[in-house]
Chains A and B, each alone.
Chain A
Amino acid sequence: MDIRSKVIEIIADQAIVEPSDLSDESTLESLGIDSLGLVESIFAIEEAFNIQIPFNANQPNESPFDISSVATIVQGIEQLIQEQA
Chain B
Amino acid sequence: MKRVVITGAGTINSIGQDFPQTINSLREGRCGISALKFKDVERLSIKIGGQIHNFEPDRHFNRQQLSLYDRYTQLTLIAADEAITQSGLTFNGELAASTGVVLGTAGGGVSTWDDNYRAVYEEGKNRVHPFVVPKLMNNAAASHLSMKFNLKGPTFTVSSACASSNHAMAQAFQIVRSAQSPVMVTGGSESMMCFGGIKAWEGLRVMSKDACRPFSLNRNGMVQGEGAAIFVFEELEHAKRRGANIFCEVKGFAMSSDAADIVNPSKHGAARAISNALKDAQVNLEDVGYINAHGTGTTANDKTECAAVADVFGHHADKIMISSTKSMHGHIIGGTGAVELIACILALRDGVISPTIGYIEHDPECALDVVPNEARDAKVKLAISNAFAFGGLNAVLVLQKV
Contacts and interface: CB of A to CB of B under 8 A. Distances in A.
Contacts of B299: 57-59
A23 interface: no
Interface of B: 45, 203-209, 219-221, 262-264, 298-300
Nearest to B298: A58
For the complex, would chain B's binding face be called helix, strand, loop or mixed by DSSP majority? loop
Interface stretch (A11-19, A36-44, A77-85): A36-44
A43 B203 contact: yes
Contacts of B220: 56, 58-59
A36 B203 CA distance: 11
A44 to B, nearest CB: 12
A24 B207 CA distance: 31
27 contacts: A35-B263, A35-B264, A36-B263, A39-B204, A42-B205, A43-B203, A52-B45, A55-B205, A56-B205, A56-B206, A56-B207, A56-B208, A56-B209, A56-B220, A56-B221, A57-B204, A57-B206, A57-B221, A57-B299, A58-B206, A58-B208, A58-B219, A58-B220, A58-B221, A58-B299, A58-B300, A59-B220
Contacts of A35: 263-264
Contacts of A39: 203-205
Contacts of A52: 45
Contacts of B263: 35-36
Interface string A24-57: 0000000000011001001100000000100111
B205 A57 contact: yes
B55 to A, nearest CB: 30
Given A56-B206, A56-B209, A59-B220, 8 more contacts: A35-B263, A57-B204, A57-B205, A57-B206, A58-B208, A58-B219, A58-B220, A58-B300
A71 B300 CA distance: 28
Top 5 nearest A-B pairs (CB, nearest first) are A57-B205, A58-B221, A58-B299, A58-B220, A39-B205
A62 B209 CA distance: 14
Contacts of B204: 39, 57
Interface range, A side: 10 to 19
Contacts of A58: 206, 208, 219-221, 298-300
Interface of A: 35-36, 39, 42-43, 52, 55-59
A19 to B, nearest CB: 25
Nearest to A52: B45
A58 B263 CA distance: 13
Nearest to A55: B205
A43 B203 CA distance: 8
A31 B300 CA distance: 22
A29 B204 CA distance: 19
A31 to B, nearest CB: 18
Contacts of B208: 56, 58
Contacts of A42: 205
Nearest to A35: B264
A39 B298 CA distance: 15
Given A56-B220, A58-B221, A58-B299, A36 B205 contact: no
Contacts of A57: 204-206, 221, 298-299
Contacts of B203: 39, 43
